[in-house]
Amino acid sequence: MSYNNDFDTAIEGLCETFRFLSQTGCSGFDCSKESLNIMGSWGHKQTRLPETLEAIRMDLGECRRCRLSESRKNIVFGAGDPHARLVFVGEGPGYDEDQKGEPFIGAAGRLLTKIIEAIKYTRDQVYICNIIKCRPPGNRNPLPNEIKACLPFLKRQLAAIKPDVICALGTFAAQALLDTTTPISKLKGRFHDYNGIRVLPTYHPAYLLRNPGKKRDVWEDMKKLMKALAN
**150 or 176: CB nearest ligand SF4:** 150
* 89 belongs to the binding site for ligand SF4 (CB under 6 A): no
Please tell me whether residue 177 binds ligand SF4 under the rule CB under 6 A.
no
Question: Minimum distance between the CB of residue 147 and ligand SF4, rounded to whole angstroms?
Answer: 9
Cβ proximity to ligand SF4, 35 vs 69, nearer residue: 69
Please name the residue ranges forming H helices in 30-143: 33-40, 53-60, 95-100, 107-118
Residues 55, 59, 61, 63, CA torsion sign: negative
Neighbours of 190 (CB within 10 A): 11
The amino acid occupying position 41 is S
If the CB atoms of residues 80 and 136 are measured against ligand SF4, the closer one turns out to be: 136
CB of 173 to ligand SF4, least distance (A): 14
Contact 204, 104 (CB under 8 A): no
CB of 74 to ligand SF4, least distance (A): 10
Residues 54-73 that bind ligand SF4 (CB under 6 A): 60, 63-66, 68-69
151 counts as binding ligand SF4 under rule CB under 6 A: no
Q: Identify whether the C-beta of residue 157 lies closer than 8 Å to the C-beta of residue 129.
A: yes
Q: Phi and psi dihedrals of 198, rounded to 5? A: -75, 135
Rg, C-alpha atoms of the chain: 23
Q: How does DSSP classify residue 60?
A: H
Identity of the residue, 131 or 200, whose beta carbon is nearer to ligand SF4 in the bound complex: 131
**129 φ/ψ angles, rounded to the nearest 5 degrees:** -155, -175
Give 22 or 74: the residue with its C-beta nearer to ligand SF4.
74
Residue among 111, 116, 150, 167 that touches ligand SF4 (CB under 6 A): 150
Residues 90-149 that bind ligand SF4 (CB under 6 A): 132-134, 146, 149
Give the distance from CA 156 to its chain's centroid: 5
Contact 112, 72 (CB under 8 A): no
* Residue among 12 and 96 whose Cβ is closer to ligand SF4: 96
Q: Does 74 bind ligand SF4 (CB under 6 A)?
A: no
Pairing mode, strands 197-202 and 165-169? parallel
Q: How far is the CB of 21 from ligand SF4 (least distance, A)?
A: 49
Residue number, 60 or 209, with CB nearest to ligand SF4: 60
Given the rule CB under 6 A, which residues bind ligand SF4?
60, 63-66, 68-69, 75, 132-134, 146, 149-150
